[in-house]
Amino acid sequence: MKSCPLIKVILNYVLSTLVLTLSLSACGQPTTRWEPDIMPADLETDYALSALPPRLRAGASVYLFDAKRGYYEHRKGTNGFLCFVSRIDWEWEQYPKDLATPISYDAEGARTIFPVYKDVAAMGISGKYTPVQIRDTVVARMKRGYYKAPARPGVSYMLSPVMRVYPANPDNKEIVTMSFPHTMFYAPYMTNADIGGAGPHEQGPILLNAGQWILGERKAPHGYIIMPEGEMERAKILADGKDLVNRLIAYKPYFRVAADGGHH
173-197 confidence digits (pLDDT tens) = 889 999 999 999 999 999 889 999 8
pLDDT at 204: 82
Phi-psi domain of 80 (left: phi exceeds 0; alpha: psi -120 through 50; beta: other):
left
Give all strands (DSSP E) within the chain, no chain letters: 61-66, 70-75, 82-86, 101-105, 155-158, 163-165, 176-178, 182-186, 206-209, 223-228
Residue with the bigger pLDDT between 15 and 55: it is 55
Q: How far is it, in rounded angstroms, from Cα 149 to Cα 222?
A: 6
- For the cut 50, the answer to whether the pLDDT of residue 1 exceeds it is no
Mean pLDDT across 236-243: 98
The region of weakest confidence among 11-20, 90-99, 226-235, 236-245 is 11-20
The pLDDT tens digits of the residues spanning 15-29 come to 333 333 333 344 455
Q: CA of 32: how far to CAs of 28, 67, 200, in Å? A: 12, 14, 36
Go through the chain and tell me how many residues it has. 264
Percent of the residues in the chain that have a pLDDT greater than 70, as a whole number = 84
pLDDT confidence bin for 157, thresholds 50/70/90: very high
Q: How far is it, in rounded angstroms, from Cα 42 to Cα 145?
A: 36
